[in-house]
Amino acid sequence: MKSLLYLIIIVLSIESCEKKSHNLIEQKTEKEEKVFVPKIGKKFFEYDFIDYYKSDYDEYSVLKLEENKNKSKADKLKFDVVVGNFPENITQTNFLESMNKIGFTKQEIPKNKFREIDKIFIDKTIDESGTYACIAVYRDILVFKNQGKIVGIAKICFSCKQHQIIGTNVNTDNFGQNGDYDKLNTLLSQNN
């Protein structure tokens, strides 16, 4: 009788383990099958033209500007644009006239790239997020225009994966996540 009882307990234990194992496999399979689909919101900007400003500043030379107590106007502007939070709003656009003087080159983004840019500059949910703890050096600046009027500015640091975007009321917190910094970097480097 004891043998029969032990046999029943062993069989029930094995069966219970198999059920748990089977349930775990099912749960894992369900999770693996779920593919993240972002919820898409509003575009950051309505535009018909994009100016792209690029520089090749290295962090060391820009940070040396901060130590210089007798900065020229151009050096102060360079530091404010490349490392600082300038411009702070869309009305502060006079600095664009001096971009070539502070080491930026200007290009026009072809209209055939707007569709891909729209996929990046849009409010959307994300499934993975990353931030870096370095000082942003904004070497890439996009100026969005609509009918000749500046509607937005996006300063991008690809090495630190940071941004400063002004001119939109749309939430820009998730900008660049899910590989969008890399996509944008590739898209802009194809422009050269």
CA angle, corner 155, sides to 150 and 159, nearest 5? 160
Residue 66 has pLDDT above 90, yes or no: no
Residue 156: give the domain boundaries: 40-189
Res. 22: pLDDT tops 80: no
- pLDDT of 148 reads 96
Q: Would 26 be classed as within a structural domain?
A: no
Q: Which pTM value belongs to this model?
A: 0.77
Residue 138 lies in a domain: yes
User: In the predicted model, is pLDDT for residue 163 greater than 90?
Assistant: yes
Q: What is the DSSP letter of 144?
A: E
Q: Tokens 């535009």 identify what position?
A: 47
pLDDT in tens, 109-148: 999 999 999 999 999 876 555 556 688 999 999 999 999 9
What is d(CA 155, CA 86) in angstroms, rounded to the nearest whole number? 10
Residue 145: C-alpha distances to residues 20, 109, 149 (Å): 59, 11, 5
Question: Is residue 13 classed as helix, strand or coil in its secondary structure?
Answer: helix
- Flag whether 65 is in a domain: yes
Domain count, the chain: 1
Task: Please give the structure tokens belonging to residue 170.
Answer: 């749309």
